[in-house]
Amino acid sequence: MANGQRRVARFSQFAICYSLFAAILAVCAAYGAIAQERPAAFVDASTVVPGLIVEMRYAGAHNFVGRPIDGYEAPRCLLTKPAANALAGVAKDVAAYGLVIKVFDCYRPTRAVANFVRWARDLNDTAGKAEFYPDVDKRTLFRDGYIASQSGHSRGSTIDLTLAQPVESITLNAAEIKFESVTTTVNGHELKATVTTDEQKQQATLAFDQTLPAGKLTLKIEYTGILNNELRGFYLSKTAKRNYAVTQFESTDARRAFPCFDEPAFKATFDIQLTVDTGDTVISNTNAVSDTPGPVVGEHTVKFATTPKMSTFYEQVTGVKVCSLLFPS
């Protein structure tokens, strides 16, 4: 089994174990603004959990508000002692698979929640919109559940985390896909990947000539696919008058439309943009947020709102004579 495939298998194994852990243990997380405010029952998680990465963006300006949030006066995460010890046990288990835990948010002070509410109600305060919520209408933040007047974080029962792992390659699902180029940027330098496909396993391994650091990474993939006649993936539907491009991704056929982690257990948000002939209509899961002419004469480009977090097989696209398809997420 290739290294990339072992990583996928190990990640799936851990995801199941961690889900069970999360269901059994209600992690009581707390964030200490200053040392004097730390409750005696809490400890600094970074002193207990081996390899823990803390990325507390609310303590700085690189967040969707664009400035430090009230109550986040230092980038630290506190946990109750039992919870910290339990999380340390999980960290030791996943270390065997080359994984570490990264936390983004722990206990959220009520003054921080109040800060978010004030910011959400000020429709003119959009400093972080371009980077963090370019397609979200700020007027709908409460309605759509992005902002709430009460937060589970404030009850000390919620922690935001992910897994991190330095790797040299990434394995995605792909079928009937021809890769043109794959690049990413690390520390300001563009890296190109060598792509190896396995048609039988419907996988593509993207290998880089240096180790990719743990953390967030953006892949830019240029590829071409086909409109097949198999009624799955991205396929051609013919009628007497018109031909339609339609998707059917359930349960693992999204990989025929775009490279992705195409497993029902994995969930993500999707940003869909399609270019079709002028006058033709396209439909996706969410509402269209823009419809602009081009990029060439006789075409128009429709961009849809970001979807909720969901499995790939829930994604849908229907259009007439589709010219190009872009999944930026």
Going by pLDDT thresholds of 50, 70 and 90, the confidence category of residue 162 is low
Going by pLDDT thresholds of 50, 70 and 90, the confidence category of residue 9 is very low
Going by pLDDT thresholds of 50, 70 and 90, the confidence category of residue 205 is very high
Contacts of 170 (CB under 8 A, 6+ apart): 4, 193, 205, 206, 212, 219
Percent of the chain with pLDDT over 90: 16
Q: Of 91-105, 135-149, 188-202, where does mean pLDDT reach its minimum?
A: 91-105
Across all residues in the chain, what is the average pLDDT? 77
**Element containing residue 121 per DSSP (H, E):** helix 110-121
Give the pLDDT confidence score for residue 317 in this predicted structure: 61
Residue 117, pLDDT > 90, answer: yes
Average pLDDT of span 60-70: 92
Q: Which two tokens stand for residue 52?
A: 């823990």
Q: Which one is predicted more confidently, 168 or 204?
A: 204
Give the pLDDT confidence score for residue 58 in this predicted structure: 92
Residue 119, pLDDT > 90, answer: yes
| Dist. CA 91–CA 317, nearest whole Å | 40
| DSSP code string of 140-175 | GTTTTTSS-SS-GGGGT---EEEEE--EEEEEEE-S
Going by pLDDT thresholds of 50, 70 and 90, the confidence category of residue 185 is confident
1 exposure class (CB count in 10 Å sphere: 0-12, 13-18, 19+): exposed
| Dist. CA 313–CA 174, nearest whole Å | 14
Give the pLDDT confidence score for residue 290 in this predicted structure: 92
292-310 pLDDT, tens digit per residue, is 998 889 888 889 888 887 7
Average pLDDT of span 30-50: 64
Does this model's pTM top 0.75?
Answer: no
Going by pLDDT thresholds of 50, 70 and 90, the confidence category of residue 33 is very low
Parallel, antiparallel or unpaired: strands 317-320 and 282-284: antiparallel
35 exposure class (CB count in 10 Å sphere: 0-12, 13-18, 19+): exposed
Going by pLDDT thresholds of 50, 70 and 90, the confidence category of residue 231 is confident
Residue 214 per-residue DSSP state: S
Average pLDDT of span 311-327: 56
Residue 89, pLDDT > 90, answer: no
Q: Which one is predicted more confidently, 229 or 216?
A: 229
96 exposure class (CB count in 10 Å sphere: 0-12, 13-18, 19+): exposed
Angle among Cα 107, 111, 117 to the nearest 5 degrees reads 105
Q: Which two tokens stand for residue 259?
A: 């490279």
Average pLDDT of span 262-286: 82
Q: Which one is predicted more confidently, 328 or 146?
A: 146
Report which of 309, 325, 289, 29 is spatially closest to residue 156, judged by C-alpha positions.
29
Residue whose entry in the numeric block shows the structure tokens 């059917």: 248
CATH superfamily of 225-329: tricorn interacting facor f3 domain (2.60.40.1730)
Report which of 214, 215, 113 is spatially closest to residue 154, judged by C-alpha positions.
113
Give the pLDDT confidence score for residue 160 in this predicted structure: 63
* Bridge partner list, 49: none
Q: Which one is predicted more confidently, 154 or 247?
A: 247
User: Any idea where the domains of the chain sit in the sequence?
Assistant: 3-164, 166-224, 225-329
Instruction: Report whether 161 contacts 103 (CB < 8 A).
Output: yes
Average pLDDT of span 226-238: 81
| Dist. CA 278–CA 259, nearest whole Å | 28
* Bridge partner list, 103: 54, 161
CATH 3.30.1380.10, domain 3-164, yes or no: yes
Contacts of 320 (CB under 8 A, 6+ apart): 242, 243, 244, 245, 276, 277, 280, 281, 282
Q: Of 4-8, 83-87, 161-165, 295-299, where does mean pLDDT reach its minimum?
A: 4-8
Residue 26, pLDDT > 80, answer: no
Residue 201 per-residue DSSP state: T
* Total Cβ atoms within 10 A of residue 144: 12
